Structure 1
Amino acid sequence: MAVVETNHPPPVDDNVFQQMCVDLYKFERPDDIVEIYGRNGQPQHGVDIIVRNDNMGRLICLQCKCREKLAPADLEDELQKTKKFPHKIWRYVFLVTIKPDNKLQDEIIRLQDEYNFQIEIRFWPWIAGAIATSDDLAKKYFQYTITRFIEVEKSPSAVHLVLTVGYSQYSFLVVQMSSFESYAGQDDLVLVTGLQAERKSGFHRLSGGHWTDLFESAIPFRYDAYAVWKWLSQFRSFEELLCNSGERAIEGLTNREVEVIRCAFDD
């Protein structure tokens, strides 16, 4: 994900993670059939989820690993089991809840020569980032409440903020426009610049200013964008924003307010 740093921790329950992977592949491959392979107690031959497209004749098999640690030998053990899988595999993907590990990546490259199907591994940061691109999946698995902000630097007329929305962080530069002579007296007018990849800027009036395209262009999905807009709008002036800054927990939106936001977008 180029625009958002997603820091949501992975699930700790195998079933939750497996269902998350099912939902993710249904979102990414809407024309395919995605289903859990078998049930507990049945031999699964190294396959947790199957993704099939009958028109293309290609079968993707997923192996989900909800663990804190994973060794290269664990990958080889699962692939050995696929030798008894009764169908032709086109692609085999490990989905794991750990951070990227080059030992596991090296093992995937080594094992590739031993099997006649493509082998991949997807680590948790990739999975979390993919979940965050879908409003529905983000709503189901992640929380979207601004719980704190950190003032990184400030001056009498500008402040660099890092807003935390759920487990994602967004960085903004907020400039008080009344510090310029041509905007004198407009204490509630600020220029907000998103410091993500595209660095979009736009004017915003505090104390309930109108929605602008800035928020959706600087933030990848609408729930987060609306939450940031509403959070900024609670301040009546730039001075009030400065007075409330600092490294301390604040409640910008309650969970109930977030649900109201979601319902408004769903309508």
Structure 2
Amino acid sequence: MNDLRTISIPKITDDEKFEFLCRDIYRNDTTYELVELNGRRGQSQQGVDIFAREATSGNWIGIQCKCRASGIQLTKADIQTEVNKAKGFNPSIHTLFIYTSCERDVKVQEIVRNINTANYLKFVVEIKFWNDIEEALKENQNYSIYYRYYNKFFTDNLTLGHAVSKLFNLDLCFNDQFDTHYELMLGKIPNYQNNHHTNANYYRGTYFFVNLTQNLSETFTVPCYDSDLIEVFPNRIDRHRICNWLNELGSIDDFISSEASSHRFSMTSEQRAEFMNDE
């Protein structure tokens, strides 16, 4: 991905969205497992908004989220209150992470150090500021999370008129029994006029299939018919199945932007016989 280290990420000011962001960062970290929100709003949470378990040690951790739209820093009383609540969390936690949307602050760090130095807790307290969240979001492994929460700040390829596509596997079946495997690319050429490429504008507003298995390609519009895919899928029963699969997607655009990369489509023996008889 692009180097995002010098980009300032706008702070989240909504409490619930801030919790979801913290949860998603931990869910994307293979160091942890069983990452969940703790109950729902209004319930007693024992100072823990999110809990998770360290995958290797089995130790439980708690995460307390403090979204401060005003930017006012956490006080000693704020932190101590959450620490005291966390003592009652079951099972006992090994570490309490306090996440705040405030900027890193030396006084708050000192408060947390003093709490840990007092040595009266059965768990360690760590403070994480917005600076730490920014650093986490800018890691390559968290790009999908970054995009999910801040996609409106990204330049859209479709807006620019660039084609977008999805690489995926498609297994064709009869009666749910595997028959044929294809490695494919399905994409869209947006309807965006670019006067520098007048001749190519003929293809604007269309979709394209690339059959990587057989090194073939074709453009088409929706709804798609078997006859639109003759060049890309020479085998007529495969072409018919793929066309049916395509039309059942609902939204090709949503499919292109989805994360799943392996798909299946099955036809019954009766449907196959009916198709062959019609031919």
TM (normalized to structure 2)?
Answer: 0.50
1:24 and 1:264 map into 2 onto residues whose CA distance is 19
Greater RCO, CA 8 A, separation 6+: 1
Q: Does structure 1 retain, via aligned residues, the 8 Å contact 2:32–2:55? A: no
Give the aligned partner of residue 115 of structure 1. Answer: 121
1:264 and 1:23 map into 2 onto residues whose CA distance is 17
2:33 and 2:77 map into 1 onto residues whose CA distance is 31
Give the aligned partner of residue 64 of structure 2. Answer: 63
Give the aligned partner of residue 90 of structure 2. Answer: 86
1:35 and 1:121 map into 2 onto residues whose CA distance is 20
1:131 equivalent among 131, 137, 144: 137
Q: Does structure 2 retain, via aligned residues, the 8 Å contact 1:46–1:78? A: yes
Superposed, 1:1-267 pairs within 5 Å as 4-29=5-30, 32-53=33-54, 56-67=57-68, 68-69=71-72, 70-112=74-116, 113-133=119-139, 134-143=142-151, 144-145=153-154, 263=257
1:85 and 1:264 map into 2 onto residues whose CA distance is 37
What is the identity, as a one-letter code, of the residue corresponding to 1:120? E
What is the identity, as a one-letter code, of the residue corresponding to 1:105? Q
What is the identity, as a one-letter code, of the residue corresponding to 1:80? N
- SS of 1:28's equivalent in the other structure is coil
**Identity rate, percent:** 29
Ranges in structure 1 where 5+ consecutive residues have no aligned partner: 148-233, 235-258
Aligned CA RMSD, in angstroms, stands at 3.0
2:10 and 2:55 map into 1 onto residues whose CA distance is 35
Q: Does structure 1 retain, via aligned residues, the 8 Å contact 2:76–2:111? A: yes
What is the identity, as a one-letter code, of the residue corresponding to 1:145? F
Q: Does structure 1 retain, via aligned residues, the 8 Å contact 2:19–2:65? A: yes
2:115 and 2:95 map into 1 onto residues whose CA distance is 13
1:54 and 1:29 map into 2 onto residues whose CA distance is 8
Cα 1:103/1:265, change in 2 over 3 Å? same
Displacement, 1:35? 0.1
Is the deviation greater in 32-41 or in 82-91?
82-91
What is the identity, as a one-letter code, of the residue corresponding to 1:116? K
1:106 and 1:31 map into 2 onto residues whose CA distance is 27
Give the aligned partner of residue 153 of structure 1. Answer: none
2:39 and 2:11 map into 1 onto residues whose CA distance is 24
Q: Does structure 1 retain, via aligned residues, the 8 Å contact 2:32–2:52? A: no
Q: Does structure 2 retain, via aligned residues, the 8 Å contact 1:6–1:128? A: no
What is the identity, as a one-letter code, of the residue corresponding to 1:99? E
Give the aligned partner of residue 176 of structure 1. Answer: none
2:60 and 2:257 map into 1 onto residues whose CA distance is 37
Aligned residues: 156
- SS of 1:84's equivalent in the other structure is coil
- SS of 1:105's equivalent in the other structure is helix
Cα 1:86/1:125, change in 2 over 3 Å? same
Q: Does structure 1 retain, via aligned residues, the 8 Å contact 2:31–2:55? A: no
What is the identity, as a one-letter code, of the residue corresponding to 2:58? G
Q: Does structure 2 retain, via aligned residues, the 8 Å contact 1:6–1:129? A: no
TM (normalized to structure 1)?
Answer: 0.52
